[in-house]
Amino acid sequence: MSRPDLNAVVAALRQVLPESGRPVALHEPAFGGNEWSYVKQCLDEGMVSSIGTFVDRFERMLADYTGAAHAVAVVNGTAALHVCLRLVGVQENDEVLLPALTFVATANAVRYCNAAPHFVDSSERTLGVDPVRLEAYLREAAETGPKGCVNRRTGRRIRALVVMHTFGHPAEPDALADLCRRFGIELVEDAAQSLGSRYRGRHTGTWGRVAALSFNGNKIVTTGGGGAILTSDAALAARAKHLTTTAKVPHRWAYAHDEVGFNYRLPNVNAAIGCAQIEQLPAFVERKRSLARHYQEVLCNVAGVRLFQEPPRAESNYWLNALILDDADMSRRDALLELTQDHRWLTRPVWTLLHRLPMYRDCPRMELPVAERLEASIVNLPSSASLRHAEARAVNRHRGV
């Protein structure tokens, strides 16, 4: 294992990233399709709230693209994940397994259900939950019986496992789904980062009973703010729509509600942007995969670092490219962040591991050696779909094309 020459890393990145004086964003949206036209149609029709033709169209497009039978559009990815957990029966005092290496919203959604996050380790091969180590941990820490899977130490039921597809790279959903079946645990996919990613030819978000997507401004497809619930269970889809529409009982004019629901429906004007974005999604994925190939080409001969590559049997959208230092040294990682930021390349570290945050320090967890190494060694590189497109245009201009 060698320590990287950080100047060599920067020299390699110069072959990909512009130095024009303008900051190069970590990830920014690309609007080159029908966004203006569709938003204008919403304004012309006066249909800008949560009812409108674009909401229905956006849901159909998501279902068609991912292969899920149903998609329910909501206001953001966290809301989608919150409802997913409700749909699979997560209740107060349950525990939900989730990676310590994930964005804080994954744990927050568990807390919204008054349940307890239970942190598990990651795999260096996928950056997601490690099914082999998780199974070994559950055999030691939990027992299954009439009450389902129960944490031996706390006595609480382990109701669900949330699998996050980190940076758009699929975890091993087949192995994790099998593990959940054997332990009587519900599988929920946090597919917020992985629209356009597939494992064994099957889209992420279709391996568990439910999955959550995000369309925040930094995602591969954006609606400004938005999310969606995917499921192939018609009853769960109907319940998702009911819960996210304030649990309003359908009626021509009466306002009757039969349980506590949530005002989580996506506005039509946001869905209009989403429809235009989905039309461009195949091109976005190809540009981002092309950008990842270019990063790999320029970094492959730089000692002490590697670009994370999609796992076996996966086809990733490369939402964020991850540079990984061979030596898990946070001071070295931060030095690289400082150096790249000095070049106005808006790199970032991975999220602080959730068990280190004050509100989650006392939550149950397994040993987390891999997550801790990854936290100290990952630097995310600028990954906008438009970045590779702009670079290609610049090369063509230089060649006179």
Confidence (pLDDT) at 393: 43
179 and 53 together in one domain: yes
Nearest-angstrom CA–CA distance, 348 and 77: 21
330 and 186 together in one domain: no
Confidence (pLDDT) at 48: 85
401: in domain: no
257 and 144 together in one domain: yes
41: in domain: yes
Nearest-angstrom CA–CA distance, 63 and 229: 10
123: in domain: yes
62-76 residue pLDDT tens: 999 999 999 999 999
247 and 339 together in one domain: no
Give the end of a domain, one of 261, 278, 295.
Answer: 278
The mean predicted confidence, pLDDT, of the chain is 94
Confidence (pLDDT) at 1: 59
Confidence (pLDDT) at 366: 98
Assess whether pLDDT exceeds 90 at residue 214: yes
362 and 342 together in one domain: yes
341 and 229 together in one domain: no
79-114 residue pLDDT tens: 999 999 999 999 999 999 999 999 999 999 999 999
337-361 residue pLDDT tens: 999 999 999 999 999 999 999 999 9
Q: pLDDT grade, residue 4 (50/70/90)?
A: confident
Q: Which domain holds residue 164?
A: 35-278
**Residues 343, 17: contact at Cβ < 8 Å?**
yes
Assess whether pLDDT exceeds 60 at residue 400: no
358-369 residue pLDDT tens: 999 999 999 999
322: in domain: yes
Identify residue 90 by its one-letter amino acid code. Answer: V
345: in domain: yes
**Residues 375, 356: contact at Cβ < 8 Å?**
no
Confidence (pLDDT) at 397: 39
Nearest-angstrom CA–CA distance, 228 and 244: 11
Assess whether pLDDT exceeds 90 at residue 293: yes
How big is the CA angle at 237 (ends 74 and 128), to the nearest 5 degrees?
Answer: 70
399: in domain: no
Q: pLDDT grade, residue 196 (50/70/90)?
A: very high
187 and 72 together in one domain: yes
**Residues 156, 95: contact at Cβ < 8 Å?**
yes
274 and 287 together in one domain: no
14-38 residue pLDDT tens: 999 988 778 999 999 999 999 999 9
Give the end of a domain, one of 228, 255, 278.
Answer: 278
CATH number (domain holding residue 372): 3.90.1150.10
Give the end of a domain, one of 245, 278, 311.
Answer: 278
Confidence (pLDDT) at 401: 35
Contacts of residue 21, Cβ cutoff 8 Å, sequence gap at least 6: 344
309-319 residue pLDDT tens: 999 999 999 99
* Residue 237: how many other CB atoms lie within 10 Å: 22
* Residue 15: how many other CB atoms lie within 10 Å: 12
144 and 247 together in one domain: yes
260 and 308 together in one domain: no
1: in domain: no
| Count: domains in the chain | 2
Confidence (pLDDT) at 52: 84
Assess whether pLDDT exceeds 70 at residue 252: yes
CATH number (domain holding residue 210): 3.40.640.10
In order, the DSSP letters of 254-278 are ---BSS---B-BPPHHHHHHHHHHH
Tell me the three state secondary structure of residue 387. Answer: helix
400: in domain: no
Q: Mean per-residue pLDDT for 283-307?
A: 96
117-158 residue pLDDT tens: 999 999 999 999 999 999 999 999 999 999 899 999 999 999
310 and 374 together in one domain: yes
262 and 186 together in one domain: yes
* Residue 293: how many other CB atoms lie within 10 Å: 13
Q: pLDDT grade, residue 388 (50/70/90)?
A: low
Nearest-angstrom CA–CA distance, 378 and 371: 10
Confidence (pLDDT) at 394: 42
**Residues 191, 230: contact at Cβ < 8 Å?**
yes
Assess whether pLDDT exceeds 80 at residue 390: no
Nearest-angstrom CA–CA distance, 269 and 248: 22
75-99 core/surface letters (b: 16 or more CB in 10 A; e: else):
bbbbbbbbbbbbbbebeeebbbbbb
